[in-house]
């Protein structure tokens, strides 16, 4: 490729830490704000937390759109980060708590279709209209209001079993004065470890490497600059379509099936991309037309498999596995893990691509192999299990995690019996 009469290197386009830091600064703001969001979510409810999130989004988008200086851009991006932190904390939990048991996965995955911008305005308006979740209302002592909302969203008067489950979970939650200390107990380890690892693995699929810098990748494989934008649009459409596939299938086939299928597809496509670039794309020059088309198709297949698996399920599974007493705090650790490793990847990817070249795809392929083994051995199925039944029906039945469920101790070192929901 030529630029200003000079050949441009394919793998070292923007190896500039300042560019990467600006790109990834949003995620540091989101990381910090997620823990504040967990407090707001518990004390004031999911609805108010979403309202705060939409406010940050809208102000951040407005500042970035009107920016005429670097300071305005940075402030706008930080506010967007606050919106991401508050939104990612509240929305998945909100959706998991209001969703009917048999459609919890599908309802939760709708979250993936709402990025910043216009949907943030819809979220802002919706926050004045929608009720809070029955769980949040009951947890904050509004029992009658919680019962009424539960009857309304279930469209039936027969909600006693679910209502009593939520009340009992709220009573247990009130006994926990320090959720951070509770998270340190062995019984909290299964959802905490899985919630955080799902977010870490989500980033190490290599998806952000492709999505953040899609124009760079498509330019690298032989497309002109004008075609880069079109390629990004195509990837975005593939992402949306595949997310709709996930909505349709997650409650039918289960979480594990989608994750394992995607691991196979992502591993194969990313390995072939790496082999193709390693053999045919040198430091300068470009791929042949056929090879370029093949790489584009493989990238689309990769994005497709990610979008119906690790993308949405990385948020769904942590939002549905924590008990109420540690739900918002535990989920904040999951959100912050996502933001931290998104920051790491965004900060490092261009430098990694510059130095590792095509072998960067083998790096991410190796992680995908690890992720597949993790799902096989350590991730239990949560389809059709009530949130407040996870301890009994999931963790205590799993070959590995069950050993942690009866190992809690109080401050005096005495063993604490694990609470059982009615």
More confident residue, 184 or 114: 184
> Mean pLDDT across the stretch 223-242?
76
Give me the sign of the Cα torsion angle 212, 214, 219, 220. positive
Which numeric CATH code is attached to 178-414?
Answer: 1.20.1250.20
The predicted structure's pLDDT at residue 67: 85
Q: Which of 8-12, 61-65, 91-95, 121-125 has the lowest mean pLDDT?
A: 8-12
Q: What is the pLDDT of residues 13-23, one digit of tens each?
A: 555 556 656 66
Phi, psi of 69, deg, nearest 5: -155, 160
Q: pLDDT class for 234, splitting at 50, 70, 90?
A: confident
Q: What is the pLDDT of residue 370?
A: 97
- Kindly tell me if the per-residue pLDDT of 352 is higher than 50: yes
pLDDT at 419: 54
More confidently predicted of 293 and 47: 47
Percentage of residues of the chain with pLDDT beyond 70:
82
pTM of the prediction? 0.87
pLDDT, position 1: 46
Q: How confident is the model at residue 328 (pLDDT cuts 50, 70, 90)?
A: very high
285 or 408, greater pLDDT: 408
Convert the pLDDT of each residue in 34-47 to its tens digit: 999 999 999 999 99
pLDDT in tens, 249-280: 999 999 999 999 999 999 999 999 888 878 86
Q: What is the pLDDT of residue 6?
A: 41
73 vs 253, more confident? 253
- Multiple choice CATH, 15-130, 3.40.1190.20, 1.10.340.30, 1.20.1250.20, 2.70.98.60: 1.20.1250.20
Q: Which carries the bigger pLDDT value, residue 289 or residue 384?
A: 384
Give whole-number Cα distances, 188 to 178, 269, 385, in Å: 13, 36, 18
Give dist(CA 318, CA 339) in Å, integer: 15
pLDDT at residue number 18: 61
**Alpha-carbon distance 400 to 379, whole Å?**
10
The C-alpha atoms of residue 89 and residue 33 are separated, in whole angstroms, by 9
Antiparallel, parallel or unpaired: β 6-7 and 2-3: antiparallel
Least confident stretch, 21-25, 247-251, 409-413: 409-413
pLDDT mean over 365-394: 95
For residue 246, pLDDT beyond 80: yes
pLDDT digits (tens, 9 = 90+) for 87-142: 999 999 999 999 999 999 999 998 777 654 446 777 888 888 889 999 999 999 99
CA 232, 234, 240 angle in degrees (round to 5)? 105
Per the model's pLDDT, the better-predicted residue between 237 and 358 turns out to be 237
- Chain mean pLDDT for the chain: 85
User: Cα–Cα distances in Å, from 21 out to 17, 173, 204?
Assistant: 6, 39, 19
Confidence of residue 348 (pLDDT cuts 50, 70, 90): confident
In this prediction, residue 147 carries a pLDDT of 96
Q: Please state, in angstroms and rounded to a whole number, the distance separating the CA atoms of residues 338 and 395.
A: 23
Distance separating alpha carbons of residues 266 and 58, to the nearest angstrom: 35
Say yes or no: do domains 15-130 and 178-414 share a fold.
Answer: yes
Distances (CA, A) of 403 to 26, 146, 385: 39, 35, 20
Instruction: Give me the residue spans of the domains in the chain.
Output: 15-130, 178-414
């Amino acid at each position: 490729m030529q630029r200003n009469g000079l050949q441009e290197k394919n793998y070292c386009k923007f190896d500039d830490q300042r560019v990467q830091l600006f790109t990834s600064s949003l995620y540091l703001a989101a990381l910090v704000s997620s823990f504040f969001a967990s407090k707001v979510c518990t004390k004031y409810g999911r609805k108010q937390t979403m309202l705060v999130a939409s406010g940050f989004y809208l102000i951040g988008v407005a500042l970035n759109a009107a920016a005429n200086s670097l300071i305005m851009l940075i402030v706008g991006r930080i506010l967007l980060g606050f919106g991401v932190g508050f939104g990612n904390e509240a929305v998945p939990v909100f959706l998991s708590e209001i969703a009917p048991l048999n459609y919890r996965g599908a309802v939760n995955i709708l979250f993936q279709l709402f990025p910043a911008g216009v949907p943030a305005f819809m979220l802002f308006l919706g926050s004045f209209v929608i009720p809070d979740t029955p769980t949040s209302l009951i947890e904050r002592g509004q029992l009658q209001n919680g019962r009424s909302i539960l009857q309304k969203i279930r469209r039936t008067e027969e909600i006693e079993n679910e209502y009593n489950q939520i009340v009992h979970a709220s009573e247990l939650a009130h006994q926990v004065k320090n959720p951070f200390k509770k998270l340190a107990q062995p019984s909290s380890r299964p959802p905490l470890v899985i919630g955080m690892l799902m977010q870490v693995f989500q980033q190490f699929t290599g998806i952000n490497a492709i999505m953040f810098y899609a124009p760079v990748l498509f330019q690298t494989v032989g497309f002109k600059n004008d075609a880069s934008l079109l390629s990004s649009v195509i990837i975005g459409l593939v992402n949306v379509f595949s997310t709709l596939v996930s909505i349709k299938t997650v409650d039918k086939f289960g979480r594990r099936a989608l994750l394992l299928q995607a691991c196979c597809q992502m591993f194969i496509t990313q390995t072939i991309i790496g082999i193709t670039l390693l053999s045919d794309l040198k430091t300068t020059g470009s791929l042949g037309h056929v090879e370029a088309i093949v790489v584009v198709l493989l990238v689309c297949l990769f994005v497709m498999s990610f979008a119906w698996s690790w993308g949405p399920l990385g948020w769904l599974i942590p939002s549905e596995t924590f008990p109420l007493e540690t739900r918002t705090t535990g989920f904040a650790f999951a959100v912050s893990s996502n933001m931290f490793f998104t920051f790491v990847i965004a900060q490092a990817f261009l430098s990694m691509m510059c130095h590792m070249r095509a072998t960067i795809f083998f790096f991410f392929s190796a992680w995908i192999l690890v992720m597949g083994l993790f799902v096989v051995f350590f991730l239990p199925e949560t389809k059709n299990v009530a949130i407040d039944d996870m301890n009994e029906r999931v963790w205590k039945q799993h070959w590995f995690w069950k050993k942690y469920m009866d190992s809690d101790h109080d401050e005096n070192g005495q063993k604490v019996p694990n609470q059982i929901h009615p």
